[in-house]
Amino acid sequence: MKTNQQSKPLKFLALTAALAFAFGGVACSSKDDAAAKSADASATANAKTDMAKPAEKSDKAAPAPKAALTVTTVQPSNSSLALKLPANGNVTAWQEASVGAEANGLRLTQVLVNVGDSVKKGQLLATFAGESVQADMAQAKAALMEAQANAIDAAANAERARTLQNTGALSAQQINQFITGEKTAAARVEAAQAMLKAQSVRTQNTQVRAPDNGVISARGATVGAVVGAGSELFRMIRGGRLEWRAEVTSTEVGNIKPGSKVSITSASGAQVQGTVRTIAPTVDAATRNALVYVDLPAHPGVKAGMFAKGEFAMGTATALTLPYPALVLRDGFTYAMRVDANNKVSQVKVETGRRMGELVEIKQGAKLGEKFVSSGAAFLADGDVVKIVDAKTTEVKASEAKPTEVKPAETKAAPATAAGAK
């Protein structure tokens, strides 16, 4: 009994402690919830305050837009541009000469020139074997000597017959035979002389010589070959002269006159100045183009057979122009950046034409008096605001520039350093 009575107070104390612990945890939980609610309310109030601030500032005026770039401007001007007519064509020889073999059935023993060699009129180009020709020459000389001897004998007989004509020693028929023999012998002499001359010409033909001054453009001669009469051995450009045969449309050929100057650029990049010599009297029925013959000066970069392009000088004309740096190429079109009175840039599409140096013809899109960005237009966009400066005032001559003294900077403590020191 005593034991039960002693344990009751102990159980009461344990129950009291458990209840106190439970109520304490609930109280702490309530405090934490209250603190969280208070923080949420504070954040909501701050957000409302921040949202209200822009509304207060919206009543103020917006600041002016900042200039995107400092630029110089230029105005379109009327300039005198050269009128030029472009054309294409081939470079050919002014005249070509074919050098062939005149001797028949002879063997080539020597070829003295190659393609590209410059030759003079009468210069030896090749030789044929002349043994058979020399033998024929000797035979012709012997035949001539024989004919001359027979002619002398026939002439003497005819002279004696004439002397005896009045004596009656010879009949008239015999006398006529002697006179006829004289004439026949004389004719045989002339025939022998002609044969000898022919053999002499044949001997000369064993040497092939240049018919004119020029440049060898082709060679078909080969040492050891036996060629027939008329076979082409060489081809040469007479005088080394070349010409450009330009193809010009029938609508524009009437504007070209003989003597006009032409600027020509060959496929190798060589540039020469030519002169119009003549214009073809007919137009090609298929292409409707006419050939214009232009004389070219000698130039190592211009060869016969080359393709070349050129421009015919057609005088001058006045046109509206802008400097080339003021133009911008975008998306396959050409634009210029126009600047209005408020220094605002407008992108304007322009149509360009001829170009002379740094000036480009403006066919459409610009007018006199308008201002355009002269350089740096590629860095601007439609709607940008720029700051305009006068190009003349920004230039400083080297002679007028004075060196400036560089003073040592005073040492001051930066606020950040001071703050760090603190």
Number of helices (H) and strands (E) in the chain: give both, helices first: 5, 23
Please choose, from the candidates 365, 285, 273, the residue with its C-alpha nearest in 3D space to the C-alpha of residue 320.
365
**pLDDT of res. 58:** 44
Please choose, from the candidates 116, 127, 122, 124, the residue with its C-alpha nearest in 3D space to the C-alpha of residue 227.
127
Residues 6+ apart with CB under 8 A from 346: 337, 338, 339, 340, 382, 383
Helix H or strand E encompassing 392: helix 391-394
Every domain of the chain and the residues it spans: 70-76+318-394, 102-125+210-235, 130-205, 236-316
3-state class (DSSP) for residue 240: coil
Question: Which amino acid makes up residue 61?
Answer: A
Do domains 70-76+318-394 and 236-316 share one topology? The answer is: no
**pLDDT of res. 390:** 67
Segment 99-131, tens digit of pLDDT? 998 888 899 999 999 998 999 999 999 999 988
DSSP 124-170: EEEEE--HHHHHHHHHHHHHHHHHHHHHHHHHHHHHHHHHTTTTTSS
**pLDDT of res. 132:** 87
Segment 309-367, tens digit of pLDDT? 999 988 888 899 999 999 999 988 999 999 998 999 999 999 998 888 889 999 999 99
Give every residue of the chain whose pLDDT is below 70, as ranges. 1-68, 390-422
Segment 389-398, tens digit of pLDDT? 865 433 333 3
Identify whether the C-beta of residue 262 lies closer than 8 Å to the C-beta of residue 311. Answer: yes
**pLDDT of res. 32:** 46
Q: What is the CATH number of domain 70-76+318-394?
A: 2.40.420.20
pTM as predicted: 0.55
Tokens read off for 60: 């103020």
**pLDDT of res. 62:** 52
> What's the number of CA atoms in the CB half-sphere (13 Å) around residue 319?
20
**pLDDT of res. 419:** 36
Determine how many CB atoms are found less than 10 A away from the CB of residue 393.
7
Topology of domain 236-316 in CATH is: Elongation Factor Tu (Ef-tu); domain 3 (2.40.30)
Topology of domain 130-205 in CATH is: Helix Hairpins (1.10.287)
**pLDDT of res. 170:** 78
